[in-house]
Structure 1
Amino acid sequence: VTCDGSWRRGSVVPLKANVDEALADVDLVDHVLVLRRCHNDIGWKKDRDVWWHDVVPKASADCACVAMESEAPLFLLYTSGSTGKPKGILHTTAGYMVWTAHTAKNTFNLRADANQMYWCTADCGWITGHSYIVYGIMPNRVPT
């Protein structure tokens, strides 16, 4: 899942082009779901790429959870590299997600039945963005 681009510091970051480059030597991905966001020109792989607006409205709202091992990789985030070469930090599923869900719920008083909307100004590329835009908020069933 990607989008055509994203804005950062007044310029469009070519996310779709980055995905295309990352997948150039990989034969594991059947489809790339692309959201039109910035309306920048993008490359298109006819047999692989699919527009979000063509498929999401037709999709079922039901999505069963997939069982995961507690130590299964959740995401890899790289340090900034300010003290040398960036280092990849692997976060696993249960420990990270359970703790961020707990801290988000109790720090921000999140309640799924309270018609809340949560906003975090952090960058998704930082650990705070991962924690309090995605992994800590979604298990609490609060839109972000």
Structure 2
Amino acid sequence: MSDLAQAGVYPASAEFTQKAHVDAEKYEAMYAESVDTPEAFWAEHGKRIDWIKPYTKVKNTTFEFGKVDIKWFEDGVLNVAHNCVDRHLATRGDQTAIIFEPDDPQDPAQHISYKQLSENVNRMANVLLSQGVMRGDRVVIYLPMIPEAAYAMLACARIGAIHSIVFAGFSPDALANRINDCGAKLVITADTAPRGGRRTALKSNTDAALLHCSDKVRCLVVKHTGDQTSWIDGRDVDVKYLMKHASPDCPPRPMNAEDPLFILYTSGSTGKPKGVVHSSG
């Protein structure tokens, strides 16, 4: 047995390594640099994304008893949605950005280009603005795996709102807990979520959850399957209808690198779910 095998390390095949973006030797050198000189390493690799205002500070960490403070690129300004979408439009606007495979294999797949993605994200962003969502507001996304889920996340990033994804399999109680904990202004859901031939009544779950939330929380509904749902005038809004009539132009808001991008909650299996905040930079 070779020394590598004894150490539990098994080299990739020659055929696999030939297709790799970074060969093993270069990767080892990059990894060593990231460990030995992390500030210089990330100062260089941070330039791989677009900055509205370039950073001058790379890493700022404080580790004290009872206190941990970590900041990255803290004086830089950027927009995540611009980096995910806009920066690709000039060179690959017609290239596929998202392939959506419906739950029913008989239904055709959707190939969404960067140009189409940009238009839909901008329309969704303008819908959120029309519902009073502002920079720093929290938006809970309770959707199946459909294109509108990506539009919603990127739209929030575009206008500086903070999104929080809630798994479509979670109960009304779990949804209500997360809406209340983050102080969400709005929840985005769908009529039903098809999965494996079955459908989960997301709108009904959301209705049940909102009974335990502030009356000010608005509900945007994606009519995805067309299943009949309840409707509360003044609170529930048809997302696709509003997107159809919204402007396809919405400039990205400048965001500080340390501004929150999203909140992701732990499962809550060992206690109250804890919201973990991920910054924009």
TM-score w.r.t. the length of structure 2 is 0.28
Contact in 2 for aligned 1:78/1:87 (Cα 8 Å): yes
Q: What are the residue-to-residue correspondences of 1:1-144 with 2, within 5 Å?
A: 1-24=188-211, 25-29=213-217, 31-68=218-255, 70-72=258-260, 74-79=262-267, 81=269, 84-85=270-271, 87-94=273-280, 98=281
The structure-2 alpha-carbon separation of the partners of 1:66 and 1:26, relative to structure 1 and needing over 3 Å to count, comes to: farther
Structure 1: runs of 5+ lacking an equivalent: 99-144
> Relative contact order (C-alpha < 8 Å, sep 6+): which is higher?
2
Instruction: Report the Cα distance in structure 2 between the residues aligned to 1:68 and 1:21, rounded to whole angstroms.
Output: 35
Instruction: Report the Cα distance in structure 1 between the residues aligned to 2:228 and 2:246, rounded to whole angstroms.
Output: 26
The structure-2 alpha-carbon separation of the partners of 1:78 and 1:10, relative to structure 1 and needing over 3 Å to count, comes to: farther
- Provide, for residues 86-128 of structure 1, a one-character-per-residue CA deviation record: whole Å limited to 9, x for no partner: 743513222xxx5xxxxxxxxxxxxxxxxxxxxxxxxxxxxxx
The structure-2 alpha-carbon separation of the partners of 1:55 and 1:89, relative to structure 1 and needing over 3 Å to count, comes to: closer
The structure-2 alpha-carbon separation of the partners of 1:89 and 1:47, relative to structure 1 and needing over 3 Å to count, comes to: closer
The structure-2 alpha-carbon separation of the partners of 1:67 and 1:4, relative to structure 1 and needing over 3 Å to count, comes to: same
- Specify the SS of the correspondent of 1:18: helix
Residue matched to 2:135: none
Instruction: Report the Cα distance in structure 2 between the residues aligned to 1:55 and 1:45, rounded to whole angstroms.
Output: 16
Residue type of the alignment partner of 1:61: P
Structure 1 segments (4+ residues) deviating >4 Å: 84-87
RMSD value over aligned CA atoms? 2.6
Residue type of the alignment partner of 1:34: V
Contact in 2 for aligned 1:12/1:38 (Cα 8 Å): no
Aligned-residue offset at 1:58: 0.8
Structure 2: runs of 5+ lacking an equivalent: 1-187
Instruction: Report the Cα distance in structure 2 between the residues aligned to 1:68 and 1:18, rounded to whole angstroms.
Output: 33
Pick which of 56-65 and 72-81 moved more.
Answer: 72-81
Aligned-residue offset at 1:45: 0.5
The structure-2 alpha-carbon separation of the partners of 1:8 and 1:77, relative to structure 1 and needing over 3 Å to count, comes to: farther
What is the aligned length? Answer: 92
Percent identity reads 26
Instruction: Report the Cα distance in structure 1 between the residues aligned to 2:240 and 2:273, rounded to whole angstroms.
Output: 36
Residue type of the alignment partner of 2:274: G
Contact in 1 for aligned 2:263/2:278 (Cα 8 Å): yes
- Specify the SS of the correspondent of 2:242: helix
Instruction: Report the Cα distance in structure 2 between the residues aligned to 1:66 and 1:27, rounded to whole angstroms.
Output: 29
Which of these two proteins has the greater Rg computed from alpha carbons? Answer: 2
